């Protein structure tokens, strides 16, 4: 078979005016050039009117394609413009079947970029694999993600998880909203399991960011009145935004953030007394930071010994933390609330200033904590996505351009669909 026909089939040129005219392999420069053309008198579709029109003029364009073996591959073609004539149509450049408009890459090349970045490579690593400048890869990926976002259907979203993430060092944040019940993984009615997905990303971590999340949801088929639950941390800014933009939604405080808040208070107590009694607390860090049921024998003995020292507040603070954790496991909400009131009075009388301040903060979120006890919804189902996002941020050493980080978050966590050909062979996609 003629090699020009082989390459024409590989590029999907059948049924179009385009044909492969010349194939040049420069072994010294390690480059393969595929030159395309069309027959004289060929007609092309006008981008605005859809009419088949003759060529007005052409200009040579180049597109980078996937490597051919060890050789860089480039497609060169005279790109026609159509229009003009007695009807005075706009003179516009036609679309080509192997590339997007205004792109310097073929569709297969862009598809490979998406596959590599979605698979875990940073853009810098992808640029080395594909032998391309990182900035050019960003210029391809961001529009591809933006185009895929326009096709997002969020009409089934009823609950939101709100979380913040750094874009880089300093006070640079994005608010990531995810649907904790996007995909149901089990049919168990009593304890169903879900997989979350990202549904919106907004700059900042304040009430205005919540407003932008609301606007994004409504633009993709989810009215604000449809959101019945919002899971968030203890941020006052998020609480204000939810009241303003999702007034009918029940606010649920994320249990992980509550425990993190209590653990921070406990660590402050431990550090204070460690400075006072360094010999007594020697090698005891993980004795306190490990849950009681996960202690080994030596750690359990050390913790028991330290907790019997009457003048230490660390032992009493540890008991309060363990009691709170056990209370929050109570399945009956009425019983849990009763125990929580008793625990709150105990903590307030503990004479441990750090713990007293922490439980006052919890008291401000009392109803949200009880909402967690009723719904058992938290950001835990979104942690897999958050882990991917944070790993991408760390491996890329932060993102100077928020739009780049936004694109990566959607690419990794939103289950986007791309109108691109598959760049991998079928044996890679369906291994036997």
Confidence of residue 429 (pLDDT cuts 50, 70, 90): very low
Residue 114 CA to residue 422 CA, distance in Å, equals: 10
Q: In sequence order, what are the beta bridge partners of 93?
A: 81
Residue 329 CA to residue 41 CA, distance in Å, equals: 77
- pLDDT tens for residues 381-404? 777 788 888 888 888 877 888 899
Residue 192 CA to residue 194 CA, distance in Å, equals: 7
Long-range contacts of 286-295 (CB under 8 A, 24+ apart): 288/314, 288/318, 289/263, 291/322, 291/325, 292/322
- pLDDT tens for residues 109-143? 999 999 999 988 999 999 999 999 999 999 999 99
pLDDT of residue 418: 93
Crossing angle for the helix pair 313-327 and 333-348, to the nearest 10 degrees:
170
Q: Would you say 270 and 286 are in contact if contact means Cβ atoms under 8 Å apart?
A: no
- pLDDT tens for residues 55-98? 999 999 999 999 988 899 999 999 999 998 777 789 999 999 99
| Cβ neighbours of 51 (radius 10 Å) | 13
Q: Kindly write down the DSSP assignment for every residue of 57-122, as one continuous string.
A: EEEEEEEEEEEETTEEEEEEEEEEEEEETTTTEEEEEPPBTTB-TT-SBBHHHHHHHHHHHHTT--
- pLDDT tens for residues 12-62? 898 899 999 999 999 999 999 999 999 999 999 999 989 999 999 999 999
172 or 207, higher pLDDT: 207
Both structure tokens of 101: 């408009």
Q: Given a cut of 60, is residue 329 above it in pLDDT? A: yes
pLDDT of residue 12: 85
Percentage of the chain exceeding pLDDT 70:
95
Q: Given a cut of 50, is residue 336 above it in pLDDT? A: yes
Q: What is the mean pLDDT of residues 257-273?
A: 93
CATH T-level fold of 159-254+380-413: Nucleotidyltransferase; domain 5 (3.30.420)
> Please, which residues have CB within 8 angstroms of residue 225's CB and are 6 or more apart in sequence?
248
Q: In sequence order, what are the beta bridge partners of 173?
A: 166
Q: In sequence order, what are the beta bridge partners of 160?
A: 230
Residue 392 CA to residue 191 CA, distance in Å, equals: 31
Question: What is the pTM for the complete model shown?
Answer: 0.84
Q: Given a cut of 80, is residue 171 above it in pLDDT? A: no
Conformational region of residue 123, where left means phi above 0, alpha means psi within -120 to 50, and beta covers everything else: alpha
pLDDT of residue 162: 93
**What secondary structure letter does DSSP report for 43?**
E
Q: Nearest-CA neighbor of 95 among 84, 79, 108?
A: 79
Domain ranges of the chain: 3-147, 159-254+380-413, 257-375
**Exposure string (b/e) for 139-149, b if CB count within 10 Å is 16 or more?**
ebbbebbeebb
Mean model confidence pLDDT for the chain: 89
Q: Nearest-CA neighbor of 44 among 66, 77, 21?
A: 77
Both structure tokens of 335: 């019983």
Beta-carbon-side half-sphere exposure of residue 94 (alpha carbons within 13 Å): 29
Percentage of the chain exceeding pLDDT 90:
65
pLDDT of residue 188: 63
**3-state secondary structure at position 342:** helix
- pLDDT tens for residues 337-392? 999 999 999 999 999 999 999 999 999 999 999 999 999 888 887 777 888 888 88
| Cβ neighbours of 411 (radius 10 Å) | 22
Q: In sequence order, what are the beta bridge partners of 81?
A: 57, 93
Sequence length of the chain is 432
Q: Nearest-CA neighbor of 313 among 358, 273, 267, 360?
A: 273
| Cβ neighbours of 171 (radius 10 Å) | 7
Q: From start to end of 131-236, where are the E strands?
A: 159-168, 172-184, 194-203, 229-232
pLDDT of residue 186: 64
Residue 110 CA to residue 107 CA, distance in Å, equals: 5
Residue 289 CA to residue 260 CA, distance in Å, equals: 12
Residue 112 CA to residue 118 CA, distance in Å, equals: 10
């Amino acid at each position: 078979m003629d090699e020009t026909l082989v390459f024409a089939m590989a590029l999907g040129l059948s049924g179009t005016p385009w044909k492969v005219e010349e194939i040049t392999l420069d072994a010294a420069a390690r480059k393969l050039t595929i030159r395309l053309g069309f027959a004289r008198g060929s007609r092309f579709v006008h981008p605005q009117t859809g009419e088949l029109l003759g060529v007005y003029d052409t200009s040579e364009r180049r597109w980078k394609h996937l490597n051919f073996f060890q050789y860089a591959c480039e497609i060169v073609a005279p790109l026609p413009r159509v229009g003009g004539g007695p009807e005075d149509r706009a003179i516009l450049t036609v679309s080509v079947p192997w590339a997007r408009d205004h792109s310097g890459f073929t569709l297969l090349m862009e598809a490979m970029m998406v596959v590599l970045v979605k698979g875990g490579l940073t853009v810098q690593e992808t640029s080395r694999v594909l032998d391309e400048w990182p900035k050019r890869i960003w210029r391809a990926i961001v529009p591809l993600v933006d185009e895929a976002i326009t096709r997002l259907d969020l009409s089934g979203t009823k609950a939101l998880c709100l979380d913040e993430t750094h874009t880089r060092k300093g006070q640079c944040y994005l608010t990531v909203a995810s649907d904790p019940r996007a995909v149901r993984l089990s049919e168990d009615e009593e304890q169903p399991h879900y997989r979350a997905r990202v549904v919106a990303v907004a700059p900042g971590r304040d009430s205005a960011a919540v407003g932008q999340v609301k606007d994004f949801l409504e633009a993709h088929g989810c009215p604000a009145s449809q959101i019945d639950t919002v899971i968030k941390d203890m941020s006052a800014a998020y609480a204000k935004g939810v009241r303003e933009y999702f007034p009918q939604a029940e606010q649920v405080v994320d249990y992980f953030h509550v425990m993190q808040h209590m653990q921070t208070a406990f660590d402050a107590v431990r550090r204070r007394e460690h400075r006072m009694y360094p010999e007594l607390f020697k090698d005891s860090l993980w004795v306190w930071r490990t849950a009681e049921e996960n202690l080994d024998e030596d750690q359990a003995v050390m913790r028991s010994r330290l907790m019997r020292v009457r003048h230490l507040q660390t032992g009493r603070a540890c008991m309060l933390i363990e009691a709170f954790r056990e209370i929050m496991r109570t399945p009956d909400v009425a019983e849990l609330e009763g125990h929580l009131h008793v625990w709150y009075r105990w903590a307030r009388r503990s004479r441990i200033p750090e713990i007293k301040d922490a439980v006052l903060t919890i008291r401000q979120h009392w109803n949200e904590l009880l909402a967690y006890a009723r719904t058992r919804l938290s950001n835990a189902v979104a942690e897999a996505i958050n882990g991917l996002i944070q790993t991408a941020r760390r491996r890329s050493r932060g993102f100077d351009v928020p739009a780049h980080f936004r694109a990566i978050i959607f690419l990794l966590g939103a289950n986007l669909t791309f109108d691109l050909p598959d760049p991998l062979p079928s044996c890679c996609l369906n291994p036997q």
